[in-house]
Amino acid sequence: MECTSSVYLPTFHMGSSIFLWLFLIFSVIFSPVSAKHSVTWTYGVNYGRIANNLPQPESVVTLLKAAKINHIRIYDADHGVLQAFKGSGIEIIIGLPNEYLKEISIGEDRAMNWVQENVQAFLPDTRIRGIAVGNEILGGTTIELWEVLLPAAKNVYSALYRLGLQHTVEVSSPHSEAVFANSFPPSACIFRPDVAPFMKPLLEFFSQIASPFYINAYPFLAYKNDPQHIDINYALFKDNRGIYDAKTKLHYDNMFEAQVDAAYAALDKAGFSKMQVIVSETGWASRGDPDEAGATVKNARTYNRNLRKLLAKKKGTPFRPKMVIKAYVFALFNENLKPGPTSERNFGLFKPDGSIAYDVGFTGLVPSAAPPSILVSFKEIAGQGWLRWSYLLVSTAWAVVLL
């Protein structure tokens, strides 16, 4: 197995008033989204596409802009999606799918080809800011992928380094809760003994290149698996007694922060106390099978609304108060072709027509309370493009000024 690792070692007149209005409107419409090292972001969304009824990527850009969602993750490097996001200012983490890991781990030349075709070709107009190498590899059932994860990540980083993109595009790999031996209380969390020999060298590499630790944290799954012993209010950020961690003397009033701090505790014990934890997936299903406790629209609304409020505070966790919590919600849409239980197909925040699946604070593209005369359908906006839609807004503003 060829692997070169040396390279990874080395941010008041009437006329004047009218023009001011127009300037402000164009500034809002066409201003780029915050750059990588500007104002701290906390809220992102996973844009999964295992479905046959989703809008075109161009329409998704329109939807995200309307919802002011500026950070997304996708699970591949689909060129149609990357092209559609060109000039949008939305920052994207793309995925190197699990099935490519073996090939990419063999040599840097294959990683270089992949990076050139799927990353460099779209920069800088499409803001690719990260590559997730595999998804939930360690702790999974395919042991042979455990062995190739680190070589693949190193080769991807090496390609970025040789292209001068190592400071623009981050290399990471998201994990599931399966990498932990236990996570309760948070301070007791450690990596599984069988995972640790693979995890530690991966963390050493990510520490050297200043990459965070990505974890998929789902209070929904924890509650679904043990509804008799878990207070659903604790899982939904609602009023509850919470838990007390005797070792750290910290109180937790919601499971989400407890899961994040459990990851921090495991990193601490492994010798990586300075590594940041970012939640790569979290969410709540709005529908499930009869044996999937808690999978309701009401609970999904409550979880996602309260999560959004928490992230908007831009604060840390009880264990890491200075580390601002960042999370990507799963998911943008329901994905009707996903295998598995019913819940897997019902995590979406939006419907394919651009309307909200339930109210978490977004308006969608077609607010239900808006007067018919000013409603513009999702397909109309997507079809006309942002330039024509912007012209409509400017015309409306002009009329307002004249009045």
- Residues recognised as catalytic: 136, 281
Beta bridge partners of 44: 328
Residue 122 is encoded by which pair of tokens?
Answer: 């779209």
CB distance 172 to 214 below 8 Å? yes
**Sign of the alpha-carbon torsion through 258, 259, 261, 265:** positive
* Long-range contacts of residues 15-20, Cβ cutoff 8 Å, at least 24 apart: 17/401, 18/398, 18/401
**Residue 374 and residue 77 in contact, taking contact as beta carbons nearer than 8 Å:** no
Structure tokens at 39: 């104002």
